[in-house]
Structure 1
């Protein structure tokens, strides 16, 4: 398998530092995980039993499984919540769902040529995915990842997703409301991460919008008139390769690119709920402030029965009262 090189990395006008890299048994690792700090983990053997999961192997053992596949006319796959699409909203998503069997997906991947719609599969791993895949799944290094879950007092594991993406595909900048251990099986993925404190620089869509949790800024062509604070955005980058595990903390923004070291990438993520807050300590952490902001938006939308009024209510509360020089 070919290696990636710096020429494959898209160029963005963003200040970028590096994500720390630690071995799975490094004593410092638990401190990163428990304090919601991203880290690239080497040597965990978390998904070693899945390292043979290429398209041919998966097609052989998942042939008739119906899978969740997204199709896009360009390289961007921006997640959206279909339940939030209302009749009054003018909304044209960048990508659309196109369910198909894994065999159909694999054939399209193998026959793909420039100009064809791009493909990205996101499939939940469960006991109906096929005998051989379930066998490999059971053999993951569960002891290691569950030990980290217990040490950090995370909540339960909610799901595992099998992700297969064509080279050059991008999942634009967004954040998630769960802890994520992201493991790469095949190929290389570049992550650009931003802490929750960068919220105002990244302009996420309103909570009631189908693109909730997604940044409004197009990294390839940022509109500095509309999003002026994006000029101040500061992030961290890392390239994740086979056998690597990237810890993406809850509420950390991340922008993901599949690099051209392979015709496609295969990854598996491990989603954990955040653990219960035993005691609220002040000052609040940035991700806790984001939770508060989300809840305020939701509450106002429900109280007003019209999400379109939320912005005007918030402006009325803030402008001239919390923006004056006396405050």
Structure 2
């Protein structure tokens, strides 16, 4: 696996998506290296995480008690509280921030949000198995409203290992655990997050494509004020190269994550995650961590993560100062054109 910032393989010349009938997956023409799959105490795994590079970890036993979680088990034990379920007319579940919807006139929500009991979700899921016009994706936090058995399982996660990793890599606090339950083929389109993520697979397999922060100018995220902030604007199936020409140069990594394995997704790394179209229901658990304390002295040259953070902060500052998202682009253009270009 190339070190952070290194490039390998040739850029895309002819864009042709290939459908694999055996798996139901689509294979894209941009170069993809394999993410290393290593035992967690392998020195190479430690080296990769120290340098904020993705790696699939085996042997962590991080969510070992959850490997018995089936839909009937969860339904019997998760409690009667309401949970967040998203509904999409396609298999893509494009996240959006409903607080920013008013910033974009005529914005159409790519999916609908519902609050259901787990039993209702299971019932609805049974009715969606053969549907091709609508798909469901459960996405909610693990809270103290769950039943005794789930709490027991949660307490017996490998927290010692997790806390040791947090201390070793100087991360900030754990912010949330997210439980994800998806239909076969559900897709979380390419996006990046502002936290480190241990992505743990519990049931089924998921395919993950990852792209380093150096691909920021190739993946064209929506503006910060847009509801789909941090999501790519590029349609991987049919990219508009006139509008997004740099996408021809995108390069990434790929892996399959199986039950009991943990994928480390570094902060600001772009990732696309999908359940196998010809697989079964998938269950995953995520652990989100803030970055560690900012050093008193910035080291140069800046790395790609720092550049992404600076870009976001500049956008946020301008939006706050101008109070109108439409004024941001003209101001940035005025600053750059004829002076820096």
Q: Same fold (TM over 0.5)?
A: yes
Structure 1 stretches (4+) deviating beyond 4 angstroms? none
Question: Retained in 2: the 8 A contact 1:187–1:242?
Answer: yes
Give the distance between the partners of 1:128 and 1:28, measured in 2 at CA.
39
Question: Retained in 1: the 8 A contact 2:60–2:161?
Answer: yes
Q: CA RMSD in A?
A: 1.5
Give the distance between the partners of 2:104 and 2:234, measured in 1 at CA.
23
Give the distance between the partners of 2:325 and 2:103, measured in 1 at CA.
13
Aligned to 1:23: 39
Alignment counterpart, residue 217 of structure 1, candidates 216, 219, 234: 234
Alignment counterpart, residue 305 of structure 2, candidates 287, 291, 303: 287
Q: Which runs of 5+ in 2 are unaligned?
A: 1-19
Residue 201 and residue 19 in structure 1: after superposition, are their counterparts in 2 closer, same or farther (change >3 A)? same
Query: Does 2:62 correspond to 1:46?
Result: yes
Give the distance between the partners of 1:260 and 1:87, measured in 2 at CA.
35
* Per-residue deviation, 1:308: 1.0
Give the distance between the partners of 1:98 and 1:26, measured in 2 at CA.
43
Aligned to 1:307: 325
Question: Retained in 2: the 8 A contact 1:63–1:103?
Answer: no
Query: Does 2:159 correspond to 1:111?
Result: no
Larger mean CA deviation between 276-285 and 168-177 belongs to 276-285
Question: Retained in 2: the 8 A contact 1:62–1:103?
Answer: no
Aligned to 1:78: 94
What SS does the aligned partner of 1:155 have? Answer: coil
* Per-residue deviation, 1:63: 4.9
Residue by residue over 1:210-251, the C-alpha shift from the partner in whole angstroms, topping out at 9 and shown as x without a partner, is: 000000011112111111111110010001010000000000
What SS does the aligned partner of 1:213 have? Answer: coil
Residue 49 and residue 169 in structure 1: after superposition, are their counterparts in 2 closer, same or farther (change >3 A)? same
Matches for 1:1-327 after TM superposition, within 5 Å: 7-86=23-102, 89-112=105-128, 113-260=130-277, 262-278=279-295, 279-323=297-341
Give the distance between the partners of 2:73 and 2:277, measured in 1 at CA.
21
* Per-residue deviation, 1:263: 2.3
Give the distance between the partners of 1:88 and 1:214, measured in 2 at CA.
15
What SS does the aligned partner of 2:57 have? Answer: strand
* Per-residue deviation, 1:51: 0.6
* Per-residue deviation, 1:21: 1.3
* Per-residue deviation, 1:81: 0.4
Residue 6 and residue 175 in structure 1: after superposition, are their counterparts in 2 closer, same or farther (change >3 A)? farther
What SS does the aligned partner of 2:99 have? Answer: helix
Q: TM-score, with normalisation over the residues of structure 2?
A: 0.91
* Per-residue deviation, 1:110: 2.0
* Per-residue deviation, 1:98: 1.2
Question: Retained in 2: the 8 A contact 1:176–1:252?
Answer: yes
Question: Retained in 2: the 8 A contact 1:163–1:267?
Answer: yes
What SS does the aligned partner of 1:231 have? Answer: helix
* Per-residue deviation, 1:43: 1.0
Residue by residue over 1:71-90, the C-alpha shift from the partner in whole angstroms, topping out at 9 and shown as x without a partner, is: 00111100000111117622
Give the distance between the partners of 1:58 and 1:146, measured in 2 at CA.
26
Q: TM-score, with normalisation over the residues of structure 1?
A: 0.94
What SS does the aligned partner of 1:210 have? Answer: coil
Number of equivalenced pairs: 320
What SS does the aligned partner of 1:224 have? Answer: coil
Q: Which runs of 5+ in 1 are unaligned?
A: none
